[in-house]
Amino acid sequence: MRRYFLSFICLLCLSVFAFSQDGHEQPPVGQHGEGTVQHDAVCGPVEEHEFNPGATAFHHIADQNIYNIGPWSFPLPCFLYAPEQGWSIFSSGKFHIGHHGNGHAAVDRYALVEGSVRRITDPAFPSGEVQLEGTFLKKMEVDGKQKEVAFVCYGGKNYAADSKSTADGGLFGGGITSFYDFSMTKNVVTMLLVAALLAWMFFPVAKAYHVRDGMAPKGIQSFVEPIFIFIQDEVAKPFLGHKWEKYLPFLMSLFFFILGLNLFGQIPFFGNSNVTGNLAVTMVLAIITFLLVNLSGNKHYWSHVFWMPGVPAIVKILILTPVEIMGLFIKPVTLMLRLFANITAGHMVMVVFVGLIFIFGKGEVLPSSAAAVGSILLTIFMMAIELLVAFIQAYVFTILTASYIGAATEEAHHH
Amino acid sequence: MIFLSDFSVIKPDFGLLFWTAVIFLLFWFIIGKFAFRPIAAALRKRESDIQGSLDEAKRVRQEMANLKTENEALLVQAREERAKILKEAKDAGTKIVDEAKGKAKEEVQKIVASAKVQIENQKMAAITDLKNQVGAISLEIAEKVIRRELQGNAAQEAFVNDLVKEIKLN
């Protein structure tokens, strides 16, 4: 009992330590290395020293080009492509990762700001490796929209840097910029790690069924089997009828991949990865589901989409068919958004709860400690709920996918 | 849209799209093929094995029950048979005894009857013999009496007395 109490205290101290660094220096300004001090005036707008829980949360759930374990940052491989200068491949360690994911160096006009690679578009900026005097983010108006723009200081001058291209078509403030980032980011590494962990778990299980044929399950086999049978009997079989075996590997992959990533994201201080809370990840899963559903759709399914039997033609043309066609796309979009929103919300709430320490504490030791106790309790409660959400969202994604595949492959039966 | 400006997770970047697709598809094909499919097959095989065993047990139990009822029926039948046989044996025994008794009685009656006949015959023979002897004696006496009478009275009386004595000796 005493040991648990001690580890609880340690965790508390560690969390205060880890987050206090974020809290006091938001937004981060260029103050790294030698000779940066005299440039502080030029090197970044020292706007607000106040703790901003929203910005902190956004920073913590974002994908990054570095991997954080506790207070340490580990470099990751960068694969960058800019139409102007072609491919650049190097380790993000070349940026000389400093505090808060800000690089001390620029490589081929690329710089690391807030853990993300940016590209300096100004042709006056030198190519190759250069020492930077600082990096910062600044809110400003770009094309009539408020945006947070990254700047790097070099030679006493501020250079604006592009963020990587995103596929939101400008809808959420992104869009195509001067470069594409195909790096193995924190989320990619986490996905690889989770996939490897799942393989490490499932291959021995599969082997055990072969080796221990005709015997009762044992060890990890007995742990996996109930979950496996649950998905098989409660998800695959009821929705897919006699075709369940064909789609079982996909449903299982979906469930365990999402569950693994959801749970991995719950581990504190180990990457703080928010993989299933990233729209790109859920988008890919939803697109694959969309393709699988519609490629396995039979005549019955398509006739119900385009020409619903037993309904007057005018109703079909005006209402039913357009709605059905919209439905084809709305289904994967809801899958994508549901998982993304649930996991992102969970991660953000967690960061904001920890942020309460800095909102109430204002940097003083005593109120901070008092707030920490309340915040830790809330965070523990939230983590318990997030654990539930991790399972529920993986289950919901899988069961809805199963129902869509079931609807697409259902045999015609006369009403 | 300042709120969303730094909300990078909602902006799907091409790198993550690419890597997610690669990793998930590989995961699906490799783990699906080498883990999920074999596990599902093994589970299905085990399920059918268990179902088969249960069905077999049920069938055997049914068979046992059938055998038991059959045995019981046989037992009842055997018991009935035994009772029947016993009864028959008893009946036969009684019959034999009765028959024997009847025969014995008959025989006895026959013997008694023949004994009676014999006794009657003997009696008749004895009576006839006696009659004959009485007749003969009477004749003798009568002869002797008649002879004495012819000799005198006294002599006749003495003679009769002698005769009477003679009879007593007989």
Give the domain ranges of chain A. Answer: 30-57+65-184, 189-409
Q: Give residue A4's pLDDT.
A: 55
Interface of B with A in 2-21 (CB under 8 A): 2-21
Q: Is A148's CB within 8 Å of B6's CB?
A: yes
CA atoms within 13 A on the CB side of A180: 14
Q: What is the ipTM of this complex?
A: 0.86
Tokens encoding B15: 């790198």
Cβ–Cβ below 8 Å for A181 and B14: yes
pLDDT tens digits along A54-74: 788 888 888 889 998 888 889
Q: Is A20 exposed, middle or buried (0-12, 13-18, 19+ CB in 10 A)?
A: middle
Write the pLDDT tens digit of every residue in A275-306.
999 999 999 999 999 999 999 988 888 888 88
User: Residues 6 or more apart from B61 whose CB is under 8 A from it?
Assistant: none
Answer whether A142 touches B (CB < 8 Å). no
Residue of chain B with shortest Cα separation from A79:
B15
pLDDT reported for residue A44: 56
The better pLDDT of the pair A169, B50 is held by B50
Beta partners for residue A142, in sequence order: A145
Contact (CB<8Å) B6/A185: no
Q: What's the pLDDT tens digit per position in B150-165? A: 766 777 778 778 888 8
Pick A352 or A22 by higher pLDDT: A352
- Poorest-pLDDT segment among A168-172, A346-350, B138-142: A168-172
For position B152, what pLDDT does the model report? 67
Under an 8 A CB cutoff, do A285 and B24 touch?
A: yes
Do A185 and B16 count as a contact with CB atoms less than 8 A apart? yes
More confident residue, B133 or B77: B77
Amino acid code (one letter) for B22: V
Going from the C-alpha of A258 to that of each of A263, A278, A395, B12, B24, the distances in angstroms are: 8, 12, 9, 17, 10
Q: State whether residue B24 sits within 8 Å of chain A by CB.
A: yes
**H or E segment to which residue A77 belongs:** strand A77-82
pLDDT of amino acid B82? 94
DSSP track, B129-163: HHHHHHHHHHHHHHHHHHHHHTT-HHHHHHHHHHH
The pLDDT of residue A358 is 83
Classify A22 in phi/psi space as left (phi over 0), alpha (psi -120 to 50) or beta: alpha
Contacting A residues, span 355-414, partner chain B, CB-CB under 8 Å: none
Q: From the centroid of its chain, how far is CA A6? A: 32
Average pLDDT for chain A: 83
Average pLDDT over every residue of A368-388: 91
B1-11 residue pLDDT tens? 234 446 788 88
Q: Tens digit of pLDDT for each residue in A210-264?
A: 888 778 888 888 899 999 999 999 999 999 988 888 999 999 999 999 999 999 9
> Residue A113 in contact with residue A161, Cβ under 8 Å?
yes
* CB contact residues (below 8 A), chain B span 65-124, against chain A: none
- For chain A, positions 203-232, list CB contacts with chain B under 8 A: 203, 205-206, 209-210, 213-214, 224-225, 228-229, 232
| B167 HSE (CA, 13 A, CB side) | 12
* CB-facing half-sphere around the CA of A60: CA atoms within 13 A: 33
- Put simply, the answer to whether A277 touches B9 (Cβ < 8 Å) is yes
Can you give the pTM of this predicted structure?
0.76
CA distance A14 to A8: 10
How many residue pairs bridge chain A and chain B with CB atoms within 8 Å of each other?
185
Q: Do B16 and A63 touch (CB under 8 A)?
A: yes
| Per-residue pLDDT, B15 | 92
Show Cβ contacts of residue A52 under 8 Å, excluding neighbours closer than 6 positions. Answer: A26, A27
Q: How many CA atoms lie within 13 A of B66 on its CB side?
A: 6
pLDDT at A33: 36
